[in-house]
Structure 1
Amino acid sequence: MHESVLLSLLWIAGAAALAPIIVGLLPGPRIPEVVLLLTLGIMIGPFGFELATKSEPIELLSELGLGLLFLLAGLEIDPASVASRTGARAGVAWVVSLAVAMGLMALLSLATELEAWAAIAIALTSTALGTLLPILRDTGLKDQPLGRAVMVNGAIGELGPILAMSLLLTGGNAWGALLSLVTFAVLAALINGAIVRHWTRAEKVVEIVRHGAETTAQAPLRLVVLLLVGMLALSTAFGLDIILGAFIAGATVRVLLPPDHATFMARLDGMAFGLLVPVFFVTSGMAIDYRVVLDRWGTVLVLFAMIVLIRGLPVYLAFRDLPGREPVRVALFSATGLPIIVAVTTVAVTAGSMTIEGQSLVVAAGMLTVLVLPLLAVELGNVRPRSPAPG
């Protein structure tokens, strides 16, 4: 058993190590690494060359990667930007997207007996903020008004689907979802408010944690590991939602970080993207049946168009007061969604409400958004408007 697990892990680790090298060697526009991780997962998985299998130990690593992915999303969220006027506009745009997606998917489920319509609707409204961040940094857009608008829409496009997943994708256990939401909200309130701000010894604890970031104690990293394992334990014991818990855990860790926490983030990124998050994406790719995608490529294109319209159009209307082509570019960036799509469909498949075939089609549409929309948004910024003819 151990030999087969280690062999599968070897192929998964090899795919994770090979992906950035291939991305660097490929000519033309830079392909997001997550697309390549999923593709390599398809190749080594049971629908490809059957080189690796998802055993229980690898499933555990994949769950830790999923939790860490959403913990990082919680760390990226700036509460001030979400609570701003721009955040309110982005929130309204996302709510409109969710309402349209839910209504459309519900009608399709009545007409065609569509399975997992709620999961598909949530997937159509996501934004891949983690995927967009490197693109915004490399192009110098992150600190421009366009980049700030994209960041806020990305934050809402991650937070909204996470909350919707927690409430709607619980295998029919709505009370469990509400308990999950209330439990983690109370935990965050206790740590952020009651303890950190009002407990006299809290300042000393926070100081120890912050000081430990620069020593061999690595206190913040150990706290992250504790929170991740705690989320898994709670979700297993009480049926709570690990994704929402990990997201709130990220927001909680943010409070304990020193003002200049770039070094800690670099170490956390190393732990996350060095092993656990790539394992999650590669194993997610192993569950994709590429034959279904090839046989039903028309469905993939329809889903791709639905993502662009359902997620992009409300964002365009909410930010149409931006100059020139900026509203279109913000909409294209905001309609780029893959990590959340993978997570939503994985949760739905685990809950038994979605088939592998359905997940393969939705994830393929998400891969198209990552491949096409950011490149198109960047190119729109490089095209200069024509000058009027003289005379």
Structure 2
Amino acid sequence: MDAHSLTALLATSETLERELVSLLIIGLVAASVPLVVGLLRLRVAEVVLLLGFGILLGPNVLGLIEIDESVQLMNELGLGLLFFLAGYELEQSTIRGRSGRLAASGWVVSLVIALVVVWGLWELGVVNDLVGIAIALTTTAMGTLLPVVRDRGQLSTPFGQFFMGGGAAGEFGPILAIALLLGSKSMWITILVLAVFAVLAYLVWRAPGHLMSTRVRELMDRSHHTSSQTAVRWTVVLLLFLLTIAASFGFDAVLGAFVAGVILRRYSPPDAGNRLLPKVEAIGFGFFIPLFFIVSGANLDIASIAKNPLRLLLFFALLLLVRGLPQYVLYRYALPDTRERWQFSLYIATGLPLLVAITTIQVGAGVMLPENAAALVGAGALSVLVFPLLGDRINPRRETAAQDEVEAEPAR
């Protein structure tokens, strides 16, 4: 082996060692946070602590976590799995009828208000990315809050159904807006490409119905108890295929992930007999999704936030003004209880994952100022910390009822 090859081998070994150390630290944080929350009985969403530890251990503070290409790829998979599971949780009934109309009108109203408010900031020279920031303010962290709503037994209630509809609009609406308004192509070309993607997604949506013979279904079911795990493997293929197609068409990968989740839901058995979903959730929530939040914290430009904290507070207030308050008005008849409606509005105003995605896209394109991106992500993290907690304080009856239901479950 010559000197050049030996040098390259040593460099590769050192790189691998740094990557493994970073992954070990990320894994330790992901495994420790649930224990910290449970043992200390903290009324804080785990995602906030994951972000906080990411900031602390990331390159901007202690520098113990290095974000290289390998970790970044896993980060993208974590983001994809987060939206994949959000798409899977989407009930068709929540986007139809009254729930669907309210959700769609609520998001459109939020977008109009956001464009007006951000245009004023643009005129004042505070921001230089009007459309990107406006779209970011209309997002909802449905994927982040779904486990909270589900664990409290609220998904089957009117509150949960309306939240699913509003949350879906707060995720799918911005995803479409990103594709249409933030792409490098012209509007009409983007619409044409989006239509082609929709056709491909529809073909994938229909294909299993023609290919899944009785024999194939039996093999899929049997694989749950063997090392082949065929259903899990094909689920991963579905996710990666639509992620790749979306990225190839110039769209953000979250569009493909969300659609993949919706497609899988169509062919999955009811929850009681669903042996696939727990395994996919184990893959996602077990490692990749917490990795996404830790890496997002590590990438956060905390120095710019410390230098100008008022910018973060401004965006935090705008999340409530743009996304939350319109829902309080629009849902006055659907959710007549004012405390429940305030809780709903605060939940809908909570945003983070798409804020990370949008700011990453815009900063990478050189359109959004890094300080605005950091302030938006910081405001999203603060909303995850404050809004759900405040909503539960305003309407504590929901949490109590959910706890009673969980405690009574073994007696049934």
Is residue 282 from structure 1 mapped to residue 294 from structure 2 by the alignment?
yes
Instruction: Give the corresponding residue for 2:130.
Output: 117
1:302 to 298, 303, 314: 314
Change (3 A) 1:258 1:140: closer
Deviation at 1:235, TM superposition (A): 5.1
Q: For residues 1-391 of structure 1, what are the structure 2 equivalents within 5 Å?
A: 1-29=15-43, 31-112=44-125, 114-171=127-184, 174=187, 177-178=190-191, 180-193=193-206, 195-196=207-208, 199=210, 201-204=211-214, 207-208=217-218, 211=221, 214-216=224-226, 217-234=228-245, 237-260=248-271, 262-321=274-333, 322-325=335-338, 326-382=340-396
Gaps of 5+ in 1: 385-391
Amino acid of the residue matched to residue 228 of structure 1? L
- Work out whether residues 51 and 294 of structure 2, in 8 Å CA contact, stay in contact via their aligned partners in 1: yes
Gaps of 5+ in 2: 1-14, 399-412
Change (3 A) 1:346 1:134: same
- Of stretches 148-157 and 254-263 in structure 1, the one that deviates more from structure 2 is 254-263
Change (3 A) 1:15 1:156: same
Deviation at 1:212, TM superposition (A): 5.1
Given the two structures, how large is their TM-score scaled by the length of structure 2? Answer: 0.84
Q: Deviations over 1:225-262 (max 9, x none)?
A: 11333245445655343221111111111122123454
- Work out whether residues 288 and 357 of structure 1, in 8 Å CA contact, stay in contact via their aligned partners in 2: no
Q: Deviations over 1:89-136 (max 9, x none)?
A: 121011100111123223322331623332221221111122222332
Amino acid of the residue matched to residue 130 of structure 1? G
Deviation at 1:357, TM superposition (A): 2.2
Identity %: 41
- Work out whether residues 101 and 124 of structure 1, in 8 Å CA contact, stay in contact via their aligned partners in 2: yes
- Work out whether residues 184 and 245 of structure 1, in 8 Å CA contact, stay in contact via their aligned partners in 2: no
Secondary structure of 2:66's counterpart equals coil
* Equivalent-residue separation in structure 2 for 1:236 and 1:89 (angstroms): 31
* Equivalent-residue separation in structure 1 for 2:193 and 2:270 (angstroms): 30
Q: Deviations over 1:36-66 (max 9, x none)?
A: 1111111111111011211111111111111
- Work out whether residues 181 and 244 of structure 1, in 8 Å CA contact, stay in contact via their aligned partners in 2: no
CA RMSD of aligned residues (A): 2.5
Change (3 A) 1:238 1:81: closer
- Work out whether residues 181 and 187 of structure 2, in 8 Å CA contact, stay in contact via their aligned partners in 1: yes
- Work out whether residues 338 and 366 of structure 1, in 8 Å CA contact, stay in contact via their aligned partners in 2: yes
Change (3 A) 1:338 1:237: closer
- Work out whether residues 170 and 351 of structure 1, in 8 Å CA contact, stay in contact via their aligned partners in 2: no
Instruction: Give the corresponding residue for 1:387.
Output: none
Q: Deviations over 1:201-245 (max 9, x none)?
A: 544487357525633332332122113332454456553432211
Deviation at 1:24, TM superposition (A): 1.8
Deviation at 1:20, TM superposition (A): 1.6
* Equivalent-residue separation in structure 2 for 1:122 and 1:206 (angstroms): 43
